Amino acid sequence: MRVGIGYDVHRLVEGRKLILGGVEIPYEKGLLGHSDADVMLHALKDSLLGAAAMGDIGRHFPDTNDQYKGISSISLLDMVKGLLKEEGYIVNNVDVTIIAERPKMAPYVEEMRANIAKTLEVTIDQVNVKATTTEGLGFTGEGLGIAAQAVSTVMKI
């Protein structure tokens, strides 16, 4: 079994949709980025790639490549799953934490888990999603951005 961690941050801006875990969340701001800026899935993909010692998402899906402009992070997660399979890995477990003051994530967590499980072809009990605030401290506490952390385990088949 191999373990990987991932971390990502994106700025909140007006005029963008807020997408986390492949779920569009109603909010007055969205995350700025080259793709759909799903910070949660970006951290998850980095943790999966890290567990397999395959670099990071910037290496595989650079923001200098227009092919990935506006792309769904769920689609990129599916591509990461394909890269893992090519190297003989399957996903064992993923655990993701969203760090945001607002909006509240609880109403969307189960749909996020289902999206991830379906994409990675694992059972929902192999996927954990949780959210926390920073009690008003820092850029997330001030509502300037959202961060995410992820830990994944993969196994060689």
Q: Which residues are annotated as a binding site?
A: 8-10, 34-35, 42, 56-58, 61-65, 100-106, 132-135, 139
DSSP bridge pairs for 99: 132, 147
In terms of Cβ atoms closer than 10 Å to its own Cβ (0-12, 13-18, 19+), residue 66 is exposed
Residues 6+ apart with CB under 8 A from 75: none
Please, are residues 95 and 151 in contact by the beta-carbon 8 Å criterion?
A: yes
Structure-derived torsion over alpha carbons of residues 82, 150, 29, 103, reported in degrees to the nearest 10: 130
Helices (H) and strands (E) in the chain, counts: 5, 7
d(C-alpha 42, C-alpha 8), whole Å: 6
Residues in the annotated binding site for a divalent metal cation: 8, 10, 42
